[in-house]
Structure 1
Amino acid sequence: MYQTYDTEKSEYSYLKSKMMHPDRLTTLISQFEITAKRLPIHEGSNLALRQVDGKLERLYLVFNSKSSLDFTGAEFVNLHFDLGGNDNPLVQALPPVIEVNLTNEKAIASITQLILAESATHRCGGDIVLNRLCELLFVNILRHHIETHGAQTGMFAGLAHPKLCHAVVAMHDNPGERWQIDDLMRLAGMSRSQFMAEFQSIVGKTPIAYLKQWRMVLARNEVLKGTRVNEIARRFGYSNGDAFCRAFAATFGSAPTKYVNG
């Protein structure tokens, strides 16, 4: 006998599961290229590892070399982990150094071992493999950071919040939507006053200010790709090209064409 399915029930279950477990990272990470560059020496590296008795114990991903964190006993890998420059909001939202205890994070430790093995050889397709491994490592590091540093202020604090994350993910996934506060507060399952107060406290700015910032980050990527102004305006919720250009100039100090041409 053939098995039958209740399509509406299955779709409802899927949507309910998606709402209960929003994907905090896919859209965020997909907007920025993550690459790894081999280095002949340690200088310029931003990935350090500490080993104890031949076993990996600590990982440090360094975004600011002037950090006061003690790296005694750690060695830098001949590798530079590039997240697309300092303008990447991921870099801006992260602390100067992310430290991971690898004895408690087996998945990150395993990926790190693969990176060490791949970076030590020069096999065919090695650069592609290394980039994929570093992207995989970064996703797992971000998961770890969200799970262990949810109390801090900023983008990742919002993503870690059990209610606010629904609103933040919705803005990330659909930046061109004409979001209103009432829409976002309903997604978060909060009253308007509670939503506004907690968003400001946890994320560090109002929901609309955050949405504008995210739109501008994505719009700048499109400007640098050469996408037409009217297309960018339409994609990110601006009424026309002039409105977008005014918002862009207010954010970055120059019109899109001048921004590209320096």
Structure 2
Amino acid sequence: MDRLSALLIRMEFSADTFFEGAFCGSNHFPAQPGTGHLHLVRRGPATFTHDDGTLLQVDVPSLVFYPRSLAHGLDTGAGTARLLCATVRLAGDGAAVLDKLPPCLHIPLAQLPALAGVLDLLFDEAQLGGLGQKLVLNRLCDVLLVQLLRHALTSKLISASRLFGVSDTALGKALAAMHDHPGRHWTVASLASLCGMSRSRFARQFHAAIGCPPAEYLTGQRMLRAKALLQQGWLVQDVALEVGYASQPAFTRAFRACSSLSPRDWLAQGGS
């Protein structure tokens, strides 16, 4: 699993669309802890106002994303805008991750060619969708947010080291190793060696920077990978080997310690 995928699983974010269509007039979006807002302006004009007095004028099709709780207003003046709006709810590490993004991302859709397919599906579903429309819209917004983060990385709107929390280049090697290969037999000694540190210095510095011991962090990465594989239909015994456990019982014990459920019971309850 790549680092962005592992990060997104930890974020536990979901989009909830609440408006699609023609809008004229004004509205205010209060700050709500644990939420952000996504506005797709398919046709403008639209003016976004912020509590600090700054204005964002949108005259071309654009994406406006507030990654975290930030009060803002929306006004179309005398005109009518075509909008799709969603609330982005965050759990897990989501708030901490999105705190690393700028408070507002404004990107004209013409600068997002990789998102064209998803945007077409999103707008088509909004206009023509039938049964289950809201669920489809929410899932497409989820995909859009993933692609938006990918764009933010590739276009240098945010650095990989800042997004992944590995600004310490030495610790970054160990974090990247555990993210990219959680099933390997990593030890504190082998991780310390990657970072060019003594075992004791690495353990001390890791705990101070990350907030838990390396072994605990590795277990968390293994469980994230295991859950993703289980949801893809892998057999429990195959997942156990893939994420670094010598036997299915050992994996099941570790999984239960993290989730309070066995892998099969976790799947039976919807894999949440």
Q: Could you say which TM-score interval applies, normalised by the shorter chain?
A: 0.5 to 0.7
Q: Is the Cα–Cα contact under 8 Å of residues 199 and 205 in structure 1 kept in the other structure?
A: yes
Q: Is the Cα–Cα contact under 8 Å of residues 18 and 87 in structure 2 kept in the other structure?
A: no
- Greater RCO structure (CA 8 Å; 6+ sep): 2
Give the whole-Å Cα distance in 1 for the aligned partners of 2:9 and 2:64.
Answer: 29
Counterpart for residue 229 of structure 2: 222
Q: Is the Cα–Cα contact under 8 Å of residues 41 and 78 in structure 1 kept in the other structure?
A: yes
Other structure's SS at 2:72 match: coil
Q: Is the Cα–Cα contact under 8 Å of residues 47 and 59 in structure 1 kept in the other structure?
A: yes
CA spacing shift, 1:230–1:239, aligned 2, 3 Å: same
224, 249, 254: which is aligned to 2:256?
249
Written as runs of structure 1 = structure 2, the 5 A alignment for 1:17-32 is: 25-26=3-4, 28=6
CA spacing shift, 1:74–1:234, aligned 2, 3 Å: farther
60, 66, 77: which is aligned to 2:66?
60
Give deviations 1:160-182, integer Å, cap 9, x for gaps: 32111111111111111000111
Other structure's SS at 1:99 match: coil
Q: Is the Cα–Cα contact under 8 Å of residues 39 and 45 in structure 1 kept in the other structure?
A: no
Q: Which runs of 5+ in 2 are unaligned?
A: 22-28, 30-34, 41-47, 49-54, 77-82, 129-136
Other structure's SS at 1:122 match: helix
Give the whole-Å Cα distance in 1 for the aligned partners of 2:153 and 2:225.
Answer: 20
Q: Is the Cα–Cα contact under 8 Å of residues 39 and 85 in structure 2 kept in the other structure?
A: no
Give deviations 1:130-155, integer Å, cap 9, x for gaps: 877643311244676864994xxxx8
Number of aligned pairs?
223
The structure richer in strand per residue is 2
Cα deviation, residue 60, structure 1? 0.8
CA spacing shift, 1:248–1:259, aligned 2, 3 Å: same
Give the whole-Å Cα distance in 2 for the aligned partners of 1:253 and 1:129.
Answer: 31
Counterpart for residue 37 of structure 2: 46
Identity rate, percent: 24
Q: Which runs of 5+ in 1 are unaligned?
A: 1-23
CA spacing shift, 1:164–1:146, aligned 2, 3 Å: farther
Counterpart for residue 111 of structure 1: 112
Q: Which amino acid aligns with 1:245?
A: T
97, 101, 104: which is aligned to 1:94?
97
168, 187, 190: which is aligned to 1:183?
190
Cα deviation, residue 119, structure 1? 7.7
Q: Is the Cα–Cα contact under 8 Å of residues 174 and 192 in structure 2 kept in the other structure?
A: yes
Other structure's SS at 1:47 match: strand
Counterpart for residue 122 of structure 1: 124
Give RMSD over aligned pairs.
4.8
Give the whole-Å Cα distance in 2 for the aligned partners of 1:194 and 1:201.
Answer: 11
TM-score (norm 1): 0.62
Q: Is the Cα–Cα contact under 8 Å of residues 66 and 105 in structure 2 kept in the other structure?
A: no
